[in-house]
Amino acid sequence: MDGFDLLPSAIVLGAVLLTLAAASTVLRRRGAKQRTAEAQRRTVAPARVPADELVKRANIQLVQMDDAIRDAADELEFARAEFGDSAVHDFADALATAKERASEAFALKQRLDDSVIDTEQEQRDWSKRILSLSDSALALVTTQTRAVTDRRRAETAAPDALTRLKDGIDQARARLQLATATLAELHDAYDSAALRSVEGADDRARRALDEADAAREDAAQALSTAAVAPVAKDVQRAEQLLRDAVTRLDSVDRTRDALRQARLDRATALDSARARLDDAEELRRKEATDPDAAQRIADAEKRMRETVALAETRHPAHPAADIDALDAATTELDHALATARTAQQRLDSAREALVGALAIAESHIRQASELISSRRAGVGTDARTRLAAAERELQLARLESDPVAALDGARRAATLATDADALARYDTMHAR
């Protein structure tokens, strides 16, 4: 074989090598382009969400978080009754942590809503923090609620659940009659404005019990035709309706007890007002040498006497309104006396007024919280934010060592709670 015989093989081999080299180059270039494109995608910053959109998302998440925490609190009590305290220890700890995060979230919402103009970056940062706190609080209560639900399903068969449901509905119906009688007595004794949070509570509880009984009957009928039937949804719905009914019946009892306490608080406020009038009259005669100061004290005394007379004769009773009026008159009289009172006297007066102011703030907070709990579906973030702010102010007032500052804080708490109540009523009126 001579050199010419090897020539075709060499040509073919060269062609193959050239083809492989070209293919390798193409693949390297294509891989480089893909890597470059991926790097560019990683380095391009995502579009920023507008600040107002973040605020809107935060508002929605606040409501969802607050409702979830309230539902979880109800669920915790039912779980404690079913499984005992030791079984719900983790649930209680998680709920406490969720409430702490909710309080911080509502505090940030208050900063967004106050009169101070916030920068766009502040709105972004605070809204993101609200979303983060709300998400974590939701996750905490959701996890524990699911754990309770899983345990309930594992430990309770449907027939046993239906038996408990029937017993619970029967007990609630027995309470329903008492609640109706209680509401009738309250309407006879108190102004209707003092009963707005429980207006029609017995009717709503009755409807919930009727629906719960119907769902229970549906589940029982399904079980009567099959040993195993998909009745979990009916059972859960009946349990939820029963809880709703019991919550409304509880609200009637709490309102009755709160009004009784308000009567006692009003009596204490009246005694304090009368003693204050005596002190003011003596101080005006002995120490108010400035005619203008003496006249301001006299005017405030007159309004205080008129307020005391109205509280003593009002019928039907509205102790919360009387307490508010007495507090306002006391505040006015305190301001009038400030020009003629020594620093020690001001402190003593603040300490005396603080007890009543704390009771007033607590009463308003209870009333606003009860309204939001009973009408939560229609209440937005503004009312909830004011209520959270009122609770913070009351807590700070209790911790304050300066009685004057504590008194101011307690009164701010009462004002915020009153605002929360008014906003909640406005929301529920427009949600119908």
H or E element that contains 157? none
Q: What is the CA radius of gyration of the chain?
A: 34
Q: For residue 341, which of 286, 393, 394, 271 has the smallest C-alpha distance?
A: 286
| Phi, psi angles (nearest 5°) of residue 341 | -125, 140
Residue 101 has pLDDT above 80, yes or no: yes
Last residue of a domain, one of 155, 171, 196: 155
Beta-strand ranges (E) seen in 262-411 are: none
Q: Which residues, in sequence order, are CB contacts of 399 under 8 Å at separation 6+?
A: none
Report pLDDT for 421: 92
Q: To 10 degrees, the CA torsion angle through 175, 181, 187, 188?
A: -150
DSSP state of 290: S
Report pLDDT for 362: 92
DSSP state of 193: G
Domain containing residue 183:
158-251
Structure tokens at 20: 């492989």
Q: How far apart are CA 337 and CA 344, in angstroms?
A: 13
Helix boundaries (H) for 195-290: 201-225, 232-286
Residue 13 has pLDDT above 60, yes or no: no
Q: For residue 406, which of 351, 368, 364, 331 has the smallest C-alpha distance?
A: 351
Residue 21 has pLDDT above 60, yes or no: no
Helix (H, G, I), strand (E, B) or coil at 207: helix
pLDDT tens string 303-345: 999 999 999 888 888 998 999 999 999 988 888 877 666 655 6
Average of per-residue pLDDT values in the chain: 83
pLDDT tens string 170-226: 999 999 999 999 999 999 889 888 888 899 999 999 999 999 999 999 888 887 776
Report pLDDT for 339: 67
Last residue of a domain, one of 155, 187, 219: 155
Structure tokens at 416: 């915020």
Residue 62 has pLDDT above 60, yes or no: yes
Same domain, 267 and 393: yes
Q: For residue 319, which of 373, 356, 274 has the smallest C-alpha distance?
A: 356
Same domain, 203 and 338: no
In a domain, 380, yes or no: yes
DSSP state of 317: B
Range in 28-37, 66-75, 113-122, 147-156 the model is least confident about: 28-37
Same domain, 393 and 273: yes
Q: How far apart are CA 193 and CA 330, in angstroms?
A: 23
- Provide the domain count of the chain: 3
Structure tokens at 365: 């907070």
Residue 167 has pLDDT above 70, yes or no: yes
Please give the average per-residue pLDDT across 385-400, as a whole number.
95
CA 11 to chain centroid, in Å, comes to: 86
Structure tokens at 244: 């709703």
Report pLDDT for 340: 65
Same domain, 283 and 414: yes
Same domain, 56 and 105: yes
Same domain, 274 and 411: yes
Report pLDDT for 46: 41
* Residue predicted with more confidence, 290 or 251: 251
* Residue predicted with more confidence, 216 or 158: 216
Same domain, 414 and 273: yes
Last residue of a domain, one of 183, 217, 251: 251
Q: What percent of the chain has pLDDT over 90?
A: 50
Q: How many CB atoms lie within 10 A of CB 421?
A: 24
Q: How confident is the model at residue 234 (pLDDT cuts 50, 70, 90)?
A: confident
